Chain A
C-alpha cells in the first residue's frame, strides 16, 4: 500500500469520482453504440453500405455538409469582424461589446429559435416590414427551407466563432503592425500581408469549432427547417424515436463522432484547446 502511494499521486483520488462517472455513464454506452453500428440488425457492415447505396442517405449527408460549411463561412466572417473591432476598441467600449456578445451567448437556444420563428414566418415581422417599405410584393419564404436554417444557425454560432479569434488576436504584438506601417505599407497591405497571416491559427481554430458544433446541431434545423431540411442529427432522432432502427442511428453517430474527433485533433495542431474552452485549463 505504501509503495503504491509513492507511485500514485494522491491527486488522482480526487480525479477518480468524475473519471469513473464518465467511464461508466458515458464511455460505456458510447462504446456500446459504436459496437451496435456493426452488429445491429445483423453483424457486418450492412449499415455502412447504405452510405453508398441509399440516395436518401447521400442527400442527408450532403445537406448536412453544405449547411455546416455555409454556416461556418458566414459565422467566422462575422466573428472576425466582431473580434477585430473588439480587440481594437477602447476598454470601455470593449466591455460593452463583450457584454452584448455574452448575453446573446447565454440566451437559451429555444428562445432564439422561437424568436426567428416569429420574425421569419409568412406574416413575420421581417416580411411585414419589407412589404411596408415596398421592398417586396409578396412574402419571402424564409421558413421550412435552408435559408431559415442558415440564419438561425449563423445567429447561434457567431459567439463561438468570436471567442477563439479574440484569444488569438489578443496575443499579437501591435508593434509588428506599426513596423509594417513605418516601412511604408498602407493599412490594407499591412492587414493582408501581416495581420491576416498572423491570425490564421485563430481563423482555423474558430472555423473548426463552429463546424464541429454545427455538425451535431439539432434544435434550430428541426424547428426552422420544418422537416424540409433534413440533417444528420434530426435523421438520427427519427431513426431512434420513430422507426427504432438502432443500427442506422449508431452508424451515423459513429461517423459523426469520428469526424468530430478528427477535426478536434486537427484543431489541437493550431491552438491549445484550453485557449478555446475558457483559457488556462493547462498550467
Chain B
C-alpha cells in the first residue's frame, strides 16, 4: 500500500519531533567550549579551560566521587533486592502476587516530590540526613522497582520447566536459583543494575531534600550552578553527563543484542 500524503507528512513531523527531543541538549557542547568566564556562545574562539576547571577543582572532583560511590552502592543493593524479589514473585502462584507487585512498584510511580518528603521525614529523626547511608537507602528504595521490572521481563521468557527439571534432578532451591535461573536472566539483571546506577547518578529531587553540606552529589552541584547561571563549568559538567549517558546507552544496547542471541536456541 502506497503511503498517503498524510502518512508522509506525519513521518516528516515525526523526524522533526525527534530532532526537537535530541538536539537541544547538544547546546551544552558549544557553551562548554567558550573562552569567556561567563555562560556564552563562543564566537570564533574555543577553549577547553572549563573542562580543565571541572577536572581539577576539588569540589567538582569530590562530587564526581560521591555520586559514583552512592550510585555504585545503590546499584549493588537494588540489583540484589530487586532480583531476589522478582524471582520470588515469579515463583509464587497466589492471588496476592499482583497486589504485592503493584505495592512494590509504588516508590517508582509516586511523584518524586512526595518521595522527597517521605525520605526527609524518615532520615531526620534517625540522624541519617546528609549522610552516605541516608542517600543510599533513599536511592535504593527508588531504584529497586526498576530492577524488579527488568528482571521480571527476563523471567517472563524463562521456561519454568527448566526450573522443575533442575529440582527433579536433585538440586536445592538455592542451587536452582544460582545455577539455572540466574544465568538465564543475566541480561535483565544487568540492565536493571545499569538503570539503578543511572537513576541514582542523576537523582536530584530527593537528593535536594536529604543532603546539605557533607554529601554534595554531582546533580546537586549542577543544580546550584544552573541556579546561579554564571559559571560555564556547569556546561562542561553537562557535556560529561551526556557522554556518560551515551556510554550507558551503548552498553545497554550491547546487552540487549546479547539477549536476543541466546533466544535462538529456545525451541
Enumerate chain A interface residues (CB-CB to B < 8 A). Answer: 9-19, 21-22, 25-26, 28-30, 32-33, 78, 81-82, 84-86, 88-89, 97, 99-104, 106-119, 125, 155, 158-159, 178, 181, 187-188, 191, 212-213, 215-219, 223, 232-233, 236-237, 240-241, 249-250, 253, 256-257, 260, 264, 273-274, 277-283
Residues from chain A with Cβ under 8 Å of B105 in the complex: 273, 277
- Looking at the assembled complex, report how far the CB atom of A30 sits from the nearest CB atom of chain B, in whole angstroms: 5
Q: Verify B85–A119 contact, CB threshold 8 A.
A: no
Known: A19-B100, A97-B18, A110-B202. A12 touches B92 (CB 8 A): yes
Q: Which residues of A contact B173 (CB under 8 A)?
A: 10
- Give chain B's interface residues, CB within 8 Å of chain A: 1, 3-4, 6-7, 10-11, 13-15, 17-18, 20-22, 24-28, 31, 39, 41, 81-82, 84-85, 87-94, 97-98, 100-122, 137-138, 140-141, 144, 148-150, 152-153, 155-157, 173, 198, 202, 204-205, 208-209, 219, 222-223, 226-227, 229, 234-235, 238, 241-242, 245-246, 248-249, 253
Chain A interface helix/strand/loop/mixed: helix
Q: Is the interface of B mostly helix, strand, loop or mixed?
A: helix
B85 smallest CB distance to A (angstroms): 4
Q: Which residues of A contact B241 (CB under 8 A)?
A: 107-108, 110-111
Sort A-B residue pairs by CB-CB distance and give the 3 closest, nearest first: A216-B111, A14-B88, A85-B14
Within the complex, the shortest CB–CB distance from A167 to chain B, in Å, comes to 13
CB A256 to nearest CB in B, in angstroms, measures 6
A26-B118, A114-B238, A216-B113 known; A15+B88 contact, CB < 8 A: yes
**Smallest Cβ-Cβ distance to B198: which chain A residue:** A106
In the bound complex, CA of A107 to CA of B198 (Å): 10
**Do the beta carbons of A178 and B21 come within 8 Å of each other?**
no
In the bound complex, residues from chain B placing their C-beta under 8 Å from that of A188 are 6
